[in-house]
Structure 1
Amino acid sequence: MPEQTQTIHDVRKSVTVAATPADCFRVFTEHPGEWWPDSHVLVKKERAGLAFEPGAGGRYYEWDVDGTEIDWGRVLEWEPGRRLVMTWRIDGNWQSVPDDERASEIEVDFVPVDAAHTTVSLAHVKLHKHGEGAERIFRALDGASPGETLDLFAKAVARGV
Structure 2
Amino acid sequence: MPEQTQAQTKTQTLPDVRKTVTVAATPDDCFKVFTERPARWWPPTHILVRKERAGLAFEEGVGGRYYEWDVEGTEAVWGRVLEWVPGRRLSMTWRIDPNWQSIPTDEGASQIEVDFEAVDAEHTKVSLAHVKLDRHGPGAERIFKALDGPSPGETLERFARAIAEVAAEAVAEAEAASVTEGAGA
TM-score, normalised with respect to structure 1: 0.98
Q: Distance in 2 between matches of 1:152 and 1:127?
A: 23
Select the residue among 13, 19, 41 that pairs with 2:25.
Answer: 19
Other structure's SS at 1:160 match: helix
How far did residue 132 of structure 1 move?
A: 1.1
CA RMSD of aligned residues (A): 1.0
**Deviation string for 1:53-111 (max 9, x for gaps)?**
00000000000000000100000000000000000000011000000010000000000
2:129 to 116, 123, 127: 123
Taking the aligned partners of 1:102 and 1:140, their CA distance within structure 2 comes to 18
Query: In structure 1, what is the Cα distance between the partners aligned to 2:24 and 2:12?
Result: 36
| Partner residue, 1:89 | 95
Matches of 2:111 and 2:27 in 1, distance apart?
Answer: 21
SS in structure 1 at match of 2:166: coil
CA distance in 1, matches of 2:98, 2:146: 11
Instruction: Give the whole-Å Cα distance in 2 for the aligned partners of 1:5 and 1:98.
Output: 25
1:101 aligns with 2:101: no
Q: Aligned to 1:159, what secondary structure does the other structure show?
A: helix
Q: How does 1:52-67 map to 2 (within 5 A)?
A: 52-67=58-73
Query: Identity over aligned residues, as a percent?
Result: 73
Q: 1:137-152 alignment to 2 at 5 Å?
A: 137-152=143-158
Q: Which has the higher contact order (CA 8 A, sep 6+)?
A: 1
Residue 28 of structure 1: aligned partner: 34
Alpha-carbon separation, structure 1, partners of 2:38 and 2:66:
10
Paired residues in the alignment total: 161
Who is 2:173 aligned against?
A: none
Aligned-pair distance for 1:5? 2.6
Q: Distance in 1 between matches of 2:87 and 2:32?
A: 8
| TM-score, length of structure 2 as denominator length | 0.85
Q: Which runs of 5+ in 2 are unaligned?
A: 168-185
How far did 1:2 drift?
Answer: 2.7
AA paired with 1:157? I
Superposed counterparts of 1:63-74, under 5 Å: 63-74=69-80
Which of the two has greater strand per residue?
1
**Structure 1 CA distance for aligned equivalents of residues 57 and 108 of structure 2:** 22
Structure number having the greater helix percentage: 2
**Which structure has the larger Rg?**
2
* One-letter identity of the residue aligned with 2:73: G
User: Match of 1:2?
Assistant: 6
